[in-house]
Amino acid sequence: MMCQSEARRGPELRAAKWLHFPQLALRRRLGQLSCMSRPALKLRSWPLTVLYYLLPFGALRPLSRVGWRPVSRVALYKSVPTRLLSRAWGRLNQVELPHWLRRPVYSLYIWTFGVNMKEAAVEDLHHYRNLSEFFRRKLKPQARPVCGLHSVISPSDGRILNFGQVKNCEVEQVKGVTYSLESFLGPRTCTEDLPFSPATSCDSFKNQLVTREGNELYHCVIYLAPGDYHCFHSPTDWTVSHRRHFPGSLMSVNPGMARWIKELFCHNERVVLTGDWKHGFFSLTAVGATNVGSIRIYFDRDLHTNSPRHSKGSYNDFSFVTHTNREGVPMRKGEHLGEFNLGSTIVLIFEAPKDFNFQLKTGQKIRFGEALGSL
């Protein structure tokens, strides 16, 4: 009986032994990988991670038995060279299209993203020499009447992702996903010519922004889709005193990605304009995105975005308050302020009395000039 059972178990033992050797080899190999430098390890594990997510479920499960773990989808996406791709896309957009090719190329884009060319100042597609000119097309003056009854209007076309009061120094990029107000706007510095006085270290960042007693801090997030009008305007009468530029990633900012990546707006390149309006602090932030490395502010010729080299987490400050100009740059409601190269996000953060009311619904479409809220 013993001999027969051992005879039956013989093939199983040999199979187990045969399977054991690859596992030992894989463990040794993974041990060698663990001794590598972090960039080298990331480079070597990246192809396996891609295969892990592309192949049918469980195809690479044996690797997990020997200690290998795939890079998360978020980390994998962050490793994509979006800045390089955006610069390449920007170069492609500048290429002049042959006259005969313009109509089919632009017509495909119009059909894909639902662009309304009847609102464009120039409807003739042959007028636009390249994709960049087409993206930055101007509108007819009567296409976007500016609402004069409300104190704050939409600075651009887009979709409302979120709005409301800022609570616990955090802002919602989409419902349920927040980011730090200080990480987004950057820390206070003594050199900033902002409209609020320095605060003690025990005060929260939110309290440093609120300049008047009884006021609250509000926010509104507007997502610009690729088919939307790409210019943005002043949302109210205010004075811009300071600009802060954060070089960073250029990840997609569509609502699905915003739900997926926490503090997405804090990772991406952005330009923060701060100043004051009749109720105190006011800021407008233009957030870059994939293929939207170019953020232009019309009155700021020194601003250059999506540069080839930058330090992670760094920022550049520029003051519009000088010895000859003590106030900054005055902006009228509806005045042209800047433009994106494709589509992106505008974030408004401002101080207002407690009876300020938004005239909005989350997810609604909005056009430049329409009311955001008023007292």
Residues tagged active-site = 157, 233, 344
Give the tokens for residue 159. Answer: 């979709």
Give the tokens for residue 206. Answer: 């939110």
Nearest CA to 155 out of 304, 332, 327 is that of: 332
Q: Where are the alpha helices (DSSP H) in the chain?
A: 2-34, 38-54, 61-65, 73-78, 82-93, 99-113, 131-135, 181-185, 205-209, 255-260, 264-267
Instruction: Give phi and psi for 17, each to the nearest 5.
Output: -65, -40
DSSP string, 218-240: EEEEEEPPTTS--EEE-SSSEEE
Residues 6+ apart with CB under 8 A from 295: 269, 270, 271, 286, 288, 303, 305, 338, 340, 341, 344
Give the tokens for residue 241. Answer: 């005193």
DSSP helix, strand, coil percent of the chain (3-state; round to 5): 35, 25, 45
CA 229, CA 86: separation in Å to the nearest integer? Answer: 19
Residue 23's DSSP bridge partners are none
Characterize 268-285 residue by residue with b for buried, 16 or more Cβ atoms within 10 angstroms of its Cβ, and e for exposed. bbbbbbbbbbebbbbbbb
